[in-house]
């Protein structure tokens, strides 16, 4: 996309994520009073004056470097600074300038990158005026622009300044382009290697990886290009058992809820399982959720390099194991990779393209008519409730992504057709038209001219 990039930087709890959400006009980043809530870089596109720029939210730079995760938070923030065309140095006007901010200001002034200082939490007139105080005059940096990310005050002036500065440095905002990128969510329980897999796909340490469970707290989008195609990869928090999520508090619960929204939003979802551990309750819960999400699905078996004594048939045996353990996802292709060694990681793109194409397939009325006749010759409609099985009048595709069909029956009630027959038709559609990897929805519709 080659969008001009603006990174929001500063110490913890100054309101960077709140400002990020407000500028994007969506609740994309998690917000809380817990220091270190933002860990990975979080990206999104901001539209202003009919043109767009890329914003990057970062974790606080005043971290405890003795903590391994906080060191990674700082590393991610510094990578964002290196890639950004413009920095928004966000400070908290209510708390006053901290010694860490004086040090950060020196660092930003010496970086050679353009910097706009943003005085956040200026809800009151007295706070708006405080930007003129000496404590906020950082040598080498401009006077802050007072805003309230919570209320939206001053954001128009801030955006005007951002766009003007980008024009000045030769990185002007661009006209909106339709983002044709395939949206790919990556989910799984904690510590199956989701972030490591994404880093291997992207080719950089874009996401924080750690053996500590639940390192990733929020979905993070990364737009990449591979073989002239665009993909938006979304890392998600590890989804633990509901009981553990409830005990851990509101922040993790909010992250899991957001994950569920991400899967509904995604074109393709990659469910990552650990080859060295049995498939358990968490994966089965995720499979049930994915079945109804509308997203295409690929099961990726990670850490395949750690499986010992592999034989010619080991992969096929494991595929059977996946199908038996996750019956809701029997239709999902299974891919074996090692995120750590990058073995077969790039083949994931071929699978993504294939299932995304099948998810958007459009079948002709003639093909569906012939299909329904052939299916009934093989297996007559099964009786559900009522005196006799209904007559099937037609099968019509009504939408794509995922493929959705109306099965028209002649009956007074929809439940005269047994649910098993709907599943039979679903399986036959996959076999007949090669629709592996995509969910299929079949709705029972009663004919208008029902016999009285």
Domain limits, the chain: 5-168, 182-359, 365-446
Contact 42, 8 (CB under 8 A): no
Name the pLDDT band for 217 (thresholds 50, 70, 90): very low
**Which CATH number among 3.10.450.350, 3.40.50.300, 3.40.605.10, 3.30.390.30 corresponds to the domain 182-359?**
3.40.50.300
Could you tell me where the DSSP H helices lie in 277-327? 281-291, 314-325
* pLDDT for res 212: 46
The mean-pLDDT minimum among 149-163, 256-270, 349-363 falls in: 256-270
Give residue 206's pLDDT band: very low, low, confident or very high (50, 70, 90). low
Decide which of 51 and 316 is more confident: 316
Selection from 154, 174, 94 nearest residue 130 by Cα: 94
Residue 87 has pLDDT above 60, yes or no: yes
The alpha-carbon radius of gyration of the chain (Å, integer) is 26
Who has greater pLDDT, 356 or 243? 356
Residue 430: what pLDDT? 95
Q: What is the pTM of this model?
A: 0.64
Considering the four listed CATH numbers 3.90.400.10, 3.30.300.20, 3.40.50.720, 3.40.50.300, the one that applies to the domain covering 365-446 is 3.30.300.20
| Rounded CA separation 107/126 (Å) | 29
Rounded Cα distance, 280 and 299, in Å: 14
pLDDT tens across 407-416, in order? 999 988 888 9
> What's the chain's average pLDDT?
83
**Does this chain's domain 5-168 share its CATH topology with 365-446?**
no
pLDDT, position 251:
42
Number of neighbouring beta carbons within 10 Å of residue 415: 12
pLDDT exceeds cutoff 90 at 452:
no
Q: What are phi and psi of 164, to 5 degrees?
A: -65, -40
Three-class SS state of 145? strand
* 46-50, 88-92, 353-357: range with lowest mean pLDDT: 46-50
Tell me the CATH number for domain 5-168.
Answer: 3.40.50.300
> Is 184:266 a contact under the CB 8 Å cutoff?
yes
Q: What is the pLDDT of residue 184?
A: 92
Which structure tokens are listed for 407?
């099965």
């Amino acid at each position: 996309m080659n969008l001009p990039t603006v990174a929001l930087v500063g110490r913890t709890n100054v309101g960077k994520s709140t400002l990020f959400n407000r500028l994007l006009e969506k609740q994309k980043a998690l917000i809380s009073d817990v220091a270190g809530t933002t860990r990975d870089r979080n990206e999104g596109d901001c539209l202003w004056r009919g043109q767009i720029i890329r914003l990057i939210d970062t974790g606080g730079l005043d971290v405890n470097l003795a903590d391994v995760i906080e060191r990674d938070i700082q590393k991610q923030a510094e990578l964002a600074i290196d890639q950004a065309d413009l920095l928004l140095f966000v400070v908290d006007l209510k708390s006053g300038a901290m010694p860490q901010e004086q040090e950060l200001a020196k660092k930003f002034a010496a970086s050679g990158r353009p910097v706009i200082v943003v005085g956040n939490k200026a809800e009151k007139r007295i706070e708006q005026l405080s930007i003129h105080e000496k404590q906020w005059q950082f040598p080498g940096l401009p006077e802050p622009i007072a805003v309230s990310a919570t209320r939206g005050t001053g954001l128009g002036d801030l955006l005007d300044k951002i766009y003007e500065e980008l024009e000045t440095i030769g990185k002007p905002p661009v006209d909106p382009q339709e983002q044709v990128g395939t949206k790919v969510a990556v989910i799984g329980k904690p510590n199956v290697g989701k972030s490591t897999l994404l880093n291997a796909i992207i080719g950089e340490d874009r996401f924080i990886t750690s053996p500590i469970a639940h390192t990733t707290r929020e979905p993070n989008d990364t737009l990449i290009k591979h073989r002239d195609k665009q993909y938006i990869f979304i890392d998600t928090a590890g989804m633990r058992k509901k009981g553990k999520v409830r005990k851990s508090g509101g922040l993790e619960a909010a992250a899991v809820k957001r994950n569920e929204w991400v899967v509904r939003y995604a074109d393709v979802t990659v469910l990552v399982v650990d080859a060295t551990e049995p498939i358990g309750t968490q994966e089965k819960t995720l499979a049930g959720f994915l079945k109804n999400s509308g997203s295409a699905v690929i099961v990726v078996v990670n850490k395949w390099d750690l499986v010992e004594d592999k034989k010619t048939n080991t992969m096929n045996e494991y595929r059977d194991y996946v199908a038996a353990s996750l019956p809701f996802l029997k239709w999902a292709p299974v891919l074996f990779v090692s995120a750590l060694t990058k073995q077969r990681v790039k083949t994931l793109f071929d699978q993504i393209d294939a299932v995304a194409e099948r998810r958007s397939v459009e079948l002709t009325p003639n093909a569906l008519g012939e299909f329904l006749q052939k299916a009934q010759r093989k297996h007559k409609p099964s009786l559900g409730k009522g005196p006799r099985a209904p007559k099937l009048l037609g099968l019509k595709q009504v939408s794509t992504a995922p493929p959705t069909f109306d099965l028209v029956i002649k009956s007074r009630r929809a439940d005269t057709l047994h649910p098993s027959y709907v599943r039979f038709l679903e399986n036959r559609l996959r076999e007949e038209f090669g629709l592996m990897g995509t969910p299929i929805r079949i709705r029972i519709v009663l004919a208008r001219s029902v016999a009285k």
